Amino acid sequence: MSDLHELGALETADAVRRGEVSVLDVVDHALARAETLGARLGAFALLTPERAREAARALDTGTDPASGGPLHGVPTAIKDLTATAGVRTGRGSVIYRDWIPEVDDDPVGLLRAAGTVSLGKTAVPEFGLPCYTEPADAAPAVTPWDVTRSAGGSSGGAAAAVAAGIVPVAQGSDGGGSIRIPASVCGLVGLKTTRGRVPAGPAGGDPAGLSVAGPLARTVADAAALLDVLCGGRAWPGEPFVPGNRPDGGYLAAVRRGPGPRRRIGLCTTVPYGDLGPLVPGWAGATVDPVCAAAAEDTARTLESLGHVVEPVDVRLPDEVVGAFLTLWATLALGDPVDPADEPRLEPLTRLLRARGREVPGIVALGALQTVQVATRRIVAARAGFDAVLTPSVALPPRPVGWFRADGPEVDFARQVAFTPWTAIANMTGEPALGLPLGWPEVDGTTLPVGVTLRGRRGGEDVLLALGAELEAATPWAHRRPPVW
C-alpha cells in the first residue's frame, strides 16, 4: 500500500489486524517519510530505524494481530524530553546530546506494551522551556502548513510529524501549553491530561505537578485511543496526584458511545491578565488577533447549534497568580542538572530563566506554589457551573521562525507570554484541556490553523473528548492536508 500515511492510527491497526499489511510495511513507509519529510520539517531529534524495524519484525512474528490492542502495529515516536532506555535523549540541548538513559519513563513502556513502534525521538526546544522548537544544533521544527512558520513547542517535533502524516499519533508533554500550542499551529487534536492521569515515573515529573503527558493526533478517536494506552488501564501506586476514575471501557469507548448530555460551556476570547510590565521585562502588551477570536466564537455557535448552552465567562487571573506561575517556571528551569562550566553553552533564554530561578529564595518558591494552589481553588470554584471553558488556543496565528528570539531573551519570553495567554491556567489547576483544529483563516495568502481549546473539570477528559468528537462530526477536519503531504 503506497498511501499508508493516509490512514489514521485506528485505521492502521485495523489494516494490520486484517492482514492487509504487515507491521514492517507500515514502519518502513513511516521511516521513509521521516527520513525525507521529517528532515525538511525539523520533526525529529533522532531516528532509530534499526530498533524500529526490529520491533516491527518481532510484532509480525510473535504476536497474532487479531489479539492486539487498538493501536497494535501503529508507528509513533517519543518526545525527546522523555527518557528512553538505550536511546539518546538530548532534551533539546547541546549539553545532553550524548545522554543515554538506562531506564524508560513510564509512557515509553506503555506505548511499547500496546504494540506501537517508535521511529525515534521528536524534536524539542532546550529542556522544553519555550513555546517554539528551535534547538541550537538542529533545524527548527516548522508547521507543515507553512514551512516558514514555527510548529510551536515544546512538543513541536511531535506535532510536525503527526500533521505531516509521518506518524498518525505521538506522545507529547505539557507544562504550560506544550501540547496544545503545537496542536493549534499544526492543525491537530492535542490533549493536556488531568494531573496524575498519566504515570510520570520513575522520575516523578516536576514537583509542582504542572507538566503532564498526553496525546497528539489528527482525530479525536485516535487521541482517545492513545490516551487509553498512556493511562495503562490501571491505577499506579505511589503516584503523588489522584486524577479521578477513568470512564467504563476507556476513553475510546466513551467517544464511540456518541454525544453525551447537553453541556453548559463558558466562552472567553479576551486576554486573562492586564499590564504585565512590572512582572515581565520586555513586555509590549498582548492582543488577540481577530482570526483567533473568531475561531472560538464560531465554535461557540456550532456548540449552540448542537444544543449546548454557551455563556460568556471571565477567566481573568490576578497579577499575583501570574507572578507566582512565572516564579515557578523560573525555578523549574533549574530542574535539569548542568555543570556550572557548561552554563555558557546553554541557549540565551535558558540562561535567563535559570538565572531568574537562582534568585528565588526557597521560601519564595514555596509561597508561589501556595499562591497557585489557593488560586486553583478559586478558579475551579468560580467555574463550577460550567462543564467546560472555551477559548482560542493561542492569541496569534502561527509565528514565523525566529520571531520569538529576534530581539533577545527578555523580549523572547515576553512574546511567549503574550502568544499563549490561556494555556497555563490548566497547568496551574491540573484540569484537562483539549485543543481542536477549528479555525482555518487565510493569513498572508496562506490557509493556516489557529485552533480552539476546551478546558474541562478535573478527571473530565471523557466529557472533553465527547464534545470534541461532536464538533469533529459537525465541522470535519480530517480531510485537510498540508501542502507538504
Among 87, 182, 85, smallest CA distance to 128 is for: 182
According to DSSP, the β-strands at 264-267 and 309-312 are: parallel
Query: Does the active-site annotation cover 173?
Result: no
What grid cell was written down for 26? Answer: 507500515
Query: Active site residue: 93, 118, 173, 178, which one?
Result: 178
Query: Does the active-site annotation cover 2?
Result: no
The DSSP bridge partners found for residue 149 are 400
Query: Active site residue: 154, 155, 173, 393, which one?
Result: 154
The DSSP bridge partners found for residue 463 are none
Query: Does the active-site annotation cover 79?
Result: yes
d(CA 227, CA 229): 5
What residues act catalytically?
A: 79, 154, 178
